[in-house]
Structure 1
């Protein structure tokens, strides 16, 4: 199960998984997690300890980040316009019941 928390203090969406990801699983997991009609994946970057999916939502840029060593996953907004859309993106990404 995926849990998402909107951290208003830091303007981030924190993502928690029941089962930790391996670094080689993040690319596919990110594609599935971000598979929504209103989201356009733009770029995947893979580093030694951090991987990122850059994507657009409502004409604003965001990044889905995965830090391997701390097993942290979060979504960050790129710019003030994107920060204003974090609440809407949060609602869009919540698992449907």
Structure 2
């Protein structure tokens, strides 16, 4: 469904991130949403109302359908967050619980 496009200046730098507990090596220039899509994930969260799967839609920070938990912080826009080495990404199920 999705096919990565090589950047103009080929950059082979990669980082290791965890997506829902699975270790993955991804290009360092990817956003978290792009890394999830490249990894085969089509949903980032489940709707708080119906539980329907929601995934990256606009990829530019407008729709908020790509909210995930990153390093324990809920409601982070995956499309607006660049991957970094060691990052822990988790899909969200419904609304986030705040302390």
For the pair shown, which has the larger CA radius of gyration, 1 or 2? 2
TM-score exceeds 0.5: no
More strand by share: 1
More helix by share: 1
In the superposition, the TM-score normalised over structure 1's length comes to 0.27
RCO higher in 1 or 2 (8 Å CA, sep ≥ 6)? 2
